[in-house]
Structure 1
């Protein structure tokens, strides 16, 4: 069983502009309140080293593997967070028309302990996704 938190936001920018922001990992600190530090190589099996900051949960280091990526469309990474606890994070771009996209970002929690963590913190997690989505929108539309 898995549990998901997601935010979707309309962005008045082309998918390549949004992708360029996402793919520039070292600049995440300039715009991303949820992951203010990011480094790694975007490739299948690549490793991301991130700092996750969620108000109410604090800051934690993240070491995650990239599961999938499609330029101008999606970036998916996952981490094992402990015994019977996994999470998969994603950013997806859906271009509706030239210069107009829907961007989704979210996290899927799995495992017995993932369920407990999600249930306890879903409001904080949802807010973190909303903040990240809005920050990405503002950056892409600037």
Structure 2
């Protein structure tokens, strides 16, 4: 089984703008309300590390690597776990709607029994944090920040 927690939002600008903002992982703490720190670069297998803060949950450290990445389409980060814990993929996806509109989705995919339990336990906090992240990206991409 797989448990997905995600937030999707429309952005009134060409996909290039929010994608370029997302591609600069190191700048996320300057605009993202959930990121206390972020280090990484886009490239297959490139290490990525975040320190995220969720209201009611506290700080959550994500240490993984870029598993899949296609410009203007998606960024998938795999977070290694012990084999019996299942798997976690953080995903950031873009869908082009027109020359000046796109959808952005941020999410987490928990696979495996223990990982799904973790996702269910933290679902409320992650949804709220993902909502804040998506709204901040929208505001920055549309020029409000």
TM-score by length of 2: 0.91
Unaligned runs of 5+ in 1: none
Partner in structure 1 of residue 141 of structure 2: 140
Partner in structure 2 of residue 3 of structure 1: 3
Of 22-31 and 79-88, deviating more is 79-88
For 2:106, what is the secondary structure of its paired residue?
A: strand
- Rounded to whole Å, the distance in 2 between the matches of 1:39 and 1:5 is 23
Of 51-60 and 11-20, deviating more is 51-60
Equivalent residue runs for 1:34-73 within 5 Å? 34-73=34-73
1:106-140, CA deviations, whole angstroms, 9 ceiling, x for partnerless residues?
Answer: 10012221121122221111111111111110110
- Rounded to whole Å, the distance in 1 between the matches of 2:52 and 2:89 is 14
Of 73-82 and 23-32, deviating more is 73-82
Partner in structure 1 of residue 14 of structure 2: 14
Partner in structure 2 of residue 127 of structure 1: 128
For 2:35, what is the secondary structure of its paired residue?
A: coil
> Closer, same or farther in 2 for the Cα pair 1:108/1:65, shift >3 Å?
same
1:44-100, CA deviations, whole angstroms, 9 ceiling, x for partnerless residues?
Answer: 111101112111221132211111111111111011245414210111111100110
Partner in structure 2 of residue 114 of structure 1: 115
Q: Runs (4+) of structure 1 moved beyond 6 Å?
A: none
Partner in structure 1 of residue 28 of structure 2: 28
State the aligned residue count. Answer: 142
Equivalent residue runs for 1:91-106 within 5 Å? 91-106=92-107
Unaligned runs of 5+ in 2: none
For 1:132, what is the secondary structure of its paired residue?
A: helix
Does the aligned pair in 1 maintain the 2:39–2:48 contact within 8 Å?
A: yes
